Chain A
Amino acid sequence: MQFKQEILENGLTITVEVNPSAASMALGFFVRTGSRDESPELPISGVSHFLEHMMFKGTDRRSPFDINREFDEMGAAYNAFTSEENTVYYGAVLPEFQERVLDLLSDMMRPALRAEDFETEKQVILEEIALYEDRPQFRLYEKLMAEHFGEHPLSHSVLGTSESIRALKRDDMLDYFNHRYSPGNVTLVAAGNLDWDALVGQARQTCGHWKEYSVTRDTLETTGTGRTGAIVDAKLLRQNVGMISPAPGAQDDRRYAADVLAAIVGDVVGSRLFYALIEPAIAEEASCTYESLDGTGIFITFISADPDRADRAVEIVHDEYEKFITEGPTDQEMEAARNKIASSATLKGELPMGRLTAVGFDWVYRRECKPLAEHIEQIFAVTSKNVLELAKQFNLNATTTLALGPK
């Protein structure tokens, strides 16, 4: 396992982890942009995600059908995703396709954004918005993020709304693209069985001419609004409740303790929430996860319960969190959590795709190249005192709470 890195003159960083014993390789462009970077002044809500779709719709050299066909010809596992703060385009291929997949992905990163494709794809985005309307937990997630972050840009919806997407103009998208896809805001990441020298040489050719713009991001820390609300939908049978409390950001060393804390209180099996809610069947789902974000973070708790048991379930979550802040974790809980996290990281790290996102986000958020073994060491270095302090410092029980269900 070996890290390699190069920064091109226009600011594009190339960062890779070479693993000669892997059977495949994964390669991706990580763009540091997402819904939090969408200006609230312009009606462009959802532009980051819509643009991600448009990136597959062709370049000066390729039609949309060419792009899809070429990926398929390589037998690639490929896709893209957009979040509040990242847009990532990736393909996993056998090593013999390294040159071809880089040629294709780097060409895609300078898209044609043709007007007729823009209108067709707009319909696809509207369908995607409709798809998530039929998924209560996703609906709740978007509304909860908005409720928690209030005026903070992390409140912006990734998908946007049907109205904002219908109103979106191709020129506003182009303008957003020009600024946010500046090479200094993009990282080319690769992991697995790959040829480093060939990769850098080719990237110089395909990405070296990209024009640089200055890019900024507002990364204020926030504790969230702490508000409580409910959305009634009489058609639903289940009451879904989401709760967010503040947590360390992606650049904060306490993030390892935050991972351990979330596993202890809210892993799907064997956690405090499991024994308090799932084992007695007060709720069918109850989990808490830690999400690190740029400059801030969240603990996010989800519950799905019968409507007449949901209030009790929420009370129990608060009681459990209060107790945890007072007493902290047991030694047995610490050992179990550390082992679970290490084991899950090891499994993920055995696949080039798993390493791609880890290596990519290490660089995007922290400008670091860190072997998996060092991450695991830091998980094992977390003490119960660290976890207890963290729960107190960030007040795990200071939640923004939102319910979605029939009552």
Chain B
Amino acid sequence: MTEEFYTREFDNGMTLVAQRMVQVSSAAMTFAVPAGSSHDPPDGAGAASSATCWLLRGAGDRDTRGINDALDSLGCQHHEAAQSEHLLVSSAQLGRNLPAVLEIYADIIRRPALADETFGPCRDLVAQALDGLEDEPMRNCHVLMREKFYPHPLGRNPLGTKQSLSEMKPDTMRLHLKGHLSPRGTIMAVAGKFDWKELSKTVEKQFGDWAGRSPEQVQETPAQRGVTHLKKETAQVQITLAWPAATINDEHYYAARIVQMILSGGMGARLFTEVREKRGLVYAIVARYHSLKGHAGMFVYAGTTPQRAQETLDVTVGELRRLAEGVQEDELARARTQLKSALIMQGESTLARADALAGDWYHLGRLRSLEEISSAIDAITVEDVMKYITAYPADDLTTLTIGPDELVLSRK
């Protein structure tokens, strides 16, 4: 199966990338604007998160209700999120409704009302979400770990802080958004049922004359990393560990994904087998790979009750260090099959494909075919994996735990 890819780069700096899928009737759209939380003003953390709400409070000729009614009537399943690098707007609907949906999104992105009276409630919702995070230690530890692991402000909590939110004003926010909602570096990815000529023309009509400046380079300060414990009376101790990994545009990227699979690809992978199946120490244990443009990491999570937490940490860290002792040919074979199979199954989902297209364009500046990824995965040898593990060893672990008592991270 060869994919039908299309790309078009507009003069204003925006790129449209698309994949036509013949077997579906839906079309999904992911709109990635380089105005994520790392671009928030230094004293305005939480700006992008507030914006995901504020942008939908009226745009063009429509008020809040008008926007919602218009999107709902088109059966549009939409979602807005502030990530580190991008402000993401995504939406899935029947392919035939896509042109009408794009017209509404042109209003949302280019002509939002941003009225004074709707700003307060949006900021308030973000502040409430911040409290909600505090009530859910599992979610919270992932957010806090990124803050420690990535350089500032790339890793900071997109929700900001109580203080930054309380000081945020509609005037400064409007100014900030005016500067940052720009076609320069913006990617629109579409996957599913569409006619390319029509899509290309619609996007040109709605976004072709959109103008704006390039986003400023984010000034990074080094990550703090190290070992942190947050004391909290939780039922389970939350354990997160992280160490650097190859980024998506690195030649070692596929080896990184293989290592992640060997640790945590399925229930037969190392962490699940040793920590849960053999010892019954946890319900949840997982290793995830995450990449920003210049930095990537392998993130391990385990949750367990306090009296078993030290053993869980020891066994988990032991497994991470055991990687350096070697990997087996059959583990590699399973990891390859899992990666390729997941890829084919994601290929059936318009939403998953739109996200993947946007990610490819952002990280690589091109779209990868199934064929290309499959061959790259097949080409990985045990030797490649060991070379990778030597280059990215799991020894200097950034560690964050939340729970009643502090744990001891054994030295290598």
Q: Chain A interface (Cβ within 8 Å of chain B)?
A: 21-24, 56, 64-65, 67-69, 71-78, 92-94, 120-128, 130-131, 133-136, 235-238, 269-270, 274-275, 278-281, 283-285, 304-306, 332, 335-337, 339-340, 342-344, 346-347, 350-352
Contacts and interface: CB of A to CB of B under 8 A. Distances in A.
B234 interface: yes
Contacts of A344: 75, 77
Contacts of A121: 280
Contacts of A24: 344-345, 348
B138 A269 contact: no
11 contacts: A21-B23, A23-B345, A24-B348, A68-B273, A71-B268, A73-B334, A75-B338, A235-B233, A238-B131, A281-B125, A336-B73
A71 B266 contact: yes
A134 B266 CA distance: 25
Interface string B58-71: 00000011001101
A311 B121 CA distance: 18
Contacts of B92: 343, 347
A280 to B, nearest CB: 6
A304 B73 contact: no
B236 A127 contact: yes
A120 B92 CA distance: 43
A72 B280 contact: no
B337 A75 contact: yes
Given A21-B23, A74-B337, A93-B341, A65 B348 contact: no
A77 B338 CA distance: 9
B218 interface: no
Given A130-B236, A284-B132, A336-B73, 18 more contacts: A22-B348, A68-B266, A72-B337, A72-B338, A75-B337, A92-B345, A93-B341, A94-B344, A121-B280, A127-B283, A134-B235, A134-B236, A237-B132, A278-B125, A284-B125, A284-B129, A339-B75, A343-B26
A103 B393 CA distance: 39
A281 B128 CA distance: 9
A124 B341 contact: no
Contacts of B279: 120
A351 B344 CA distance: 12
Contact of A23 (B281, B283, B348): B348
Interface in B75-95: 75-78, 92-94
Given A69-B268, A69-B334, A352-B348, A64 B128 contact: no
Given A134-B136, A335-B73, A68 B267 contact: yes
Given A24-B345, A124-B282, A135 B233 contact: no
B124 A281 contact: yes
B277 A77 contact: no
A275 B341 contact: no
A237 B405 CA distance: 22
B75 A72 contact: no
Contacts, number: 195
A68 B137 CA distance: 29
A128 B283 contact: yes
Contacts of B77: 340, 343-344, 347
A4 to B, nearest CB: 20
Contacts of A130: 235-236, 283, 303-305
B249 interface: no
B340 interface: yes
Interface residues of B, number: 73
B235 A133 contact: yes
A346 B128 contact: no
B380 interface: no
A23 B1 CA distance: 10
A278 B72 CA distance: 17
A279 B138 CA distance: 28
Contacts of B349: 350-351
Given A135-B138, A238-B131, A343-B75, A65 B268 contact: yes
Chain A CB within 10 A, most for which of B23, B65, B75, B351:
B75
Nearest to B338: A75
Contact of B74 (A238, A275, A339, A351): A339
B341 A350 contact: no
Contacts of B282: 124, 127
A120 to B, nearest CB: 4
A347 B280 contact: no
A284 B128 contact: yes
Closest 9 CB pairs of A and B: A75-B341, A343-B75, A123-B280, A336-B72, A270-B68, A68-B268, A284-B128, A281-B121, A133-B235
A280 B125 CA distance: 9
A74 B344 CA distance: 13
B236 A306 contact: no
A305 B132 CA distance: 9
Contact of B304 (A73, A92, A127, A281): A127
Interface string B172-202: 0000000000000000000000000000000
B350 A347 contact: yes
A92 to B, nearest CB: 6
